[in-house]
């Protein structure tokens, strides 16, 4: 039995839920046991999930470790899980962040610890299930499971305006989810009309693409795109995010930024684009415009924020705009950059929220004006904060640079955007603004006079804080210096996605002019066979440079010119030869039988 035949995905998805049930049976007074059990259990899930990476074949573009079984017989709904290069590292990021978040909550969460740990483990199951589900109905179930624990995390353990933030978060996301459900049900019944059987499995529903008109694809894509665009969130659906981030506990903010926001971009890649390629072809410029607006708008709003946590929340709007720009570009470089940027944002922005949470626990304020000179009393904290800020800015050598560079390069040469260079130029300003708002915030908090008496007694990082921050800092350097570790496994899946997309668009009549300056990113298409009358029987003289020697004349001709030669009418008894390569006889000789 090989790695691919081991049932690894179901344990990865449901082990956190099992841990939640175990903690639920522990005594309510055993607070230390709740913390320790949650940390050990999530750490064990992370170590177990590494088996997916160990057994993953980086040369395969399709799903691996697939598990498929009939779930609801009467509706023909299957329990179908699988992982490919696009979802592999998002799964590992999720399982990595969970023990870090649990460890960070040891001191930050003091009330209802048992319930807090249970909700964290349930939300992990929801996120992992959504990333691994191939059946659309199963995906929708896990998609909704994520919403419920986050509702309680913000509403119970949040800040002073937690009720307002919770309701806003739920209303936005539920509205998008209902639209996606309507679109999904339409596909479910449409599939039965054409194939005489119901199905919710993604590979089956993709077969429906040729049977969907452009108007149908546009409406259905709109339902899925609104659900995913709200979750990203894209401008102008972003207004719920700053409030949710600001009011959520530190662990909730890390999970929200690190994984949940990525579900929107992942949903586009996994479901919206494969199911509605022609609609994506027509709406890609619209997505690109919304993405660059989000990049610039989010960055400009960050500059004027007085609250550190709210500043980082708006920076997510800007950084996630880069992800959606790469999705709209639909080139291999841009899509690889988008997936990579999902990982980068989870690492660097998650670390920023953890760092803000550390200083909030000591001072109980996030206002920038309340700090100054912190580096004098917390030098280690200031050092890690600087590394994380530079990674978020996109400094070469750190993780943020690779993702943004690939996105900008892929957008500039995008075959799907007519003005890719313009989108690239506008989006590049977001990198400049990121340096402005993050470095200015860092200067005001870390440097200057230490004139606030409350800041003079602040303690530097303790061993527990070092323990959960260092894995993220190490990842920033590894992903910045050796990105191919992560890019190589995802490349076949990304190439297959782009090939299927352009192939579907071309078959539907929406031909895209492929740019020749990026040939390695375009799907290879079989070359048409030349007509028999245009073939030239050449037995000798084929040169490695692409030239051939014409027998009898000694003349060298580029073989491409032979293939492009016009057709010559073939007379009876005479083999036709292209005039560009046939030596003209000095004197025509007339022969009997109508030939010359």
Whether residue 407 sits in one domain with residue 550 = no
Residue 43 belongs to a domain:
no
Whether residue 372 sits in one domain with residue 320 = yes
pTM over 0.85: no
Q: pLDDT (tens digit, 9 = 90+) per residue, 220-232?
A: 999 999 999 988 8
Q: What does the pLDDT read at residue 566? A: 45
CB distance 454 to 363 below 8 Å: yes
Q: pLDDT (tens digit, 9 = 90+) per residue, 537-575?
A: 433 344 444 444 444 444 454 444 444 444 444 444 444
Domain hosting 551: range is 534-559
- Tell me: pLDDT of 388 over 90: yes
Residue 46 belongs to a domain:
no
Whether residue 506 sits in one domain with residue 538 = no
- Tell me: pLDDT of 474 over 90: yes
> Considering only CA atoms, which of 3, 19, 22 is closest in space to residue 65?
3
Whether residue 538 sits in one domain with residue 506 = no
What residues have CB less than 8 Å from 65, skipping those under 6 apart? 3, 4, 6, 7, 8, 9, 52, 55, 81, 82, 83
- Tell me: pLDDT of 515 over 60: no
Overall domain count for the chain: 2
- Over residues 460-482, the mean pLDDT reads 92
Give CA–CA dist 548/77, Å, rounded.
Answer: 59
**Angle of helix 463-481 versus helix 332-363 axis, rounded to 10:** 160
Residue 89 belongs to a domain:
no
Give CA–CA dist 451/444, Å, rounded.
Answer: 12
Q: What does the pLDDT read at residue 4? A: 66
What residues have CB less than 8 Å from 168, skipping those under 6 apart? 239, 240, 243, 244
Question: 460 falls in which pLDDT band (50, 70, 90)?
Answer: confident
> Considering only CA atoms, which of 325, 516, 277 is closest in space to residue 422?
325
> Considering only CA atoms, which of 13, 20, 39 is closest in space to residue 115?
20
Minimum mean pLDDT range among 88-102, 300-314, 578-592: 578-592
Q: How much is the mean pLDDT over the chain?
A: 83
**Angle of helix 399-412 versus helix 332-363 axis, rounded to 10:** 140
Whether residue 545 sits in one domain with residue 490 = no
Residue 402 belongs to a domain:
yes
- Over residues 59-76, the mean pLDDT reads 88
SS3 string, 529-596, reads CCCHHHCCCCCCCECCCCEEECCCCCCEEEHHHHHCCCCCCCCCCCCCCCCCCCCCCCCCCCCCCCCC
CB distance 450 to 458 below 8 Å: no
Q: What does the pLDDT read at residue 231? A: 86
- Tell me: pLDDT of 471 over 90: yes
Q: pLDDT (tens digit, 9 = 90+) per residue, 237-266?
A: 888 888 888 888 888 889 888 888 888 899
- Tell me: pLDDT of 581 over 70: no
Residue 122 belongs to a domain:
no
Whether residue 431 sits in one domain with residue 555 = no
Whether residue 384 sits in one domain with residue 289 = yes
The share of the chain scoring above pLDDT 90, in percent, equals: 38
CB distance 104 to 468 below 8 Å: yes
- Over residues 88-108, the mean pLDDT reads 91
Using the 3D structure, point to which of 517, 551, 578 is the last residue of a domain: 517
User: Token pair 């079989």 is at which residue?
Assistant: 526
Q: What does the pLDDT read at residue 7? A: 83
Q: What does the pLDDT read at residue 540? A: 39
Residue 241 belongs to a domain:
no
Q: pLDDT (tens digit, 9 = 90+) per residue, 413-428?
A: 888 888 888 999 999 9
Whether residue 339 sits in one domain with residue 428 = yes
Residue 375 belongs to a domain:
yes
- Over residues 195-204, the mean pLDDT reads 88
Q: What does the pLDDT read at residue 528? A: 52
- Tell me: pLDDT of 92 over 90: yes
Whether residue 541 sits in one domain with residue 436 = no
Whether residue 381 sits in one domain with residue 478 = yes
- Tell me: pLDDT of 111 over 90: no
Q: What does the pLDDT read at residue 165? A: 85
Residue 273 belongs to a domain:
no
- Tell me: pLDDT of 433 over 80: yes
339 or 513, which is more confident: 339
Whether residue 374 sits in one domain with residue 292 = yes
Whether residue 544 sits in one domain with residue 408 = no
């Amino acid at each position: 039995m090989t790695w691919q035949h081991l049932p690894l995905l179901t344990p990865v998805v449901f082990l956190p839920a099992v841990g939640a049930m175990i903690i639920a049976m522990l005594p309510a007074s055993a607070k230390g046991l709740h913390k320790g059990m949650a940390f050990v259990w999530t750490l064990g899930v992370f170590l177990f999930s590494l088996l997916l990476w160990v057994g993953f074949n980086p040369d395969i573009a399709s799903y691996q470790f697939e598990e498929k079984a009939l779930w609801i017989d009467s509706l023909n709904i299957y329990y179908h899980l699988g992982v490919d290069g696009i979802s592999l590292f998002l799964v590992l990021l999720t399982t990595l962040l969970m023990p870090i978040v649990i460890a960070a909550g040891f001191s930050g969460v003091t009330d209802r610890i048992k319930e807090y740990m249970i909700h964290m483990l349930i939300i992990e199951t929801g996120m992992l299930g959504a990333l691994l589900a191939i059946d659309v109905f199963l995906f929708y179930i896990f998609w909704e499971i994520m919403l419920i624990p986050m509702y309680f995390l913000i509403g119970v353990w949040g800040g002073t305006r937690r009720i307002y933030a919770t309701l806003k978060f739920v209303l936005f996301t539920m509205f998008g989810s209902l639209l996606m459900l309507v679109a999904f049900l339409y596909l479910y019944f449409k599939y039965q009309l054409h194939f005489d059987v119901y199905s919710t499995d993604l590979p089956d529903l993709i077969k429906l693409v040729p049977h969907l008109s452009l108007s149908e694809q546009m409406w259905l894509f709109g339902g899925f795109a609104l659900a995913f665009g709200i979750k990203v969130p894209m401008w102008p659906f972003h207004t719920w995010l700053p409030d949710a981030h600001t009011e959520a506990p530190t662990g909730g903010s890390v999970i929200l930024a690190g994984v949940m926001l990525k579900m929107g971009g992942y949903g586009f890649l996994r479901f919206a684009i494969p199911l509605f390629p022609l609609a994506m072809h027509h709406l890609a410029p619209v997505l690109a415009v919304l993405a660059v607006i989000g990049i610039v708008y989010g960055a400009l709003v960050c500059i004027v924020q007085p609250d550190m946590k709210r500043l980082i929340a708006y920076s997510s709007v800007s950084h996630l705009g880069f992800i959606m720009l790469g999705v709209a570009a639909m080139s291999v470089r841009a899509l690889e950059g988008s997936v990579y940027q999902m990982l980068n944002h989870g690492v660097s922005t998650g670390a920023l929220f953890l760092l803000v949470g550390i200083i909030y626990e000591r001072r109980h304020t996030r206002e920038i004006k309340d700090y100054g000179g912190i580096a004098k009393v917390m030098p280690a904290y200031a050092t890690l904060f600087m590394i994380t800020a530079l990674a978020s800015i996109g400094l070469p050598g750190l993780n943020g640079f690779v993702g943004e560079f690939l996105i900008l390069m892929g957008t500039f040469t995008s075959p799907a955007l007519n003005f890719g260079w313009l989108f690239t130029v506008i989006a590049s300003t977001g990198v400049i603004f990121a340096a402005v708002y993050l470095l200015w915030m860092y200067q005001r908090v870390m440097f200057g006079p230490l004139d606030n008496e409350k800041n003079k007694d602040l303690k530097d990082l303790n061993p527990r804080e070092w323990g959960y921050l260092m894995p993220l800092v190490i990842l920033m350097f590894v992903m910045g210096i050796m990105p191919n570790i992560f890019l190589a496994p995802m490349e076949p899946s990304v190439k297959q996605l782009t090939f299927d997309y352009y192939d579907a668009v071309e078959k539907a009549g929406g031909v895209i002019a492929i740019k020749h300056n990026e040939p390695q990113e375009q799907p290879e298409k079989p070359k048409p066979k030349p007509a028999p009358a245009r073939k030239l029987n050449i037995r000798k003289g084929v040169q490695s440079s692409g030239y051939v020697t014409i027998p009898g004349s000694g003349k060298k001709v580029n073989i491409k010119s032979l293939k492009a030669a016009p057709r010559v009418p073939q007379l009876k008894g005479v083999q036709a030869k292209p005039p560009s390569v046939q030596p003209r006889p000095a004197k025509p000789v007339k022969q009997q039988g109508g030939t010359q």
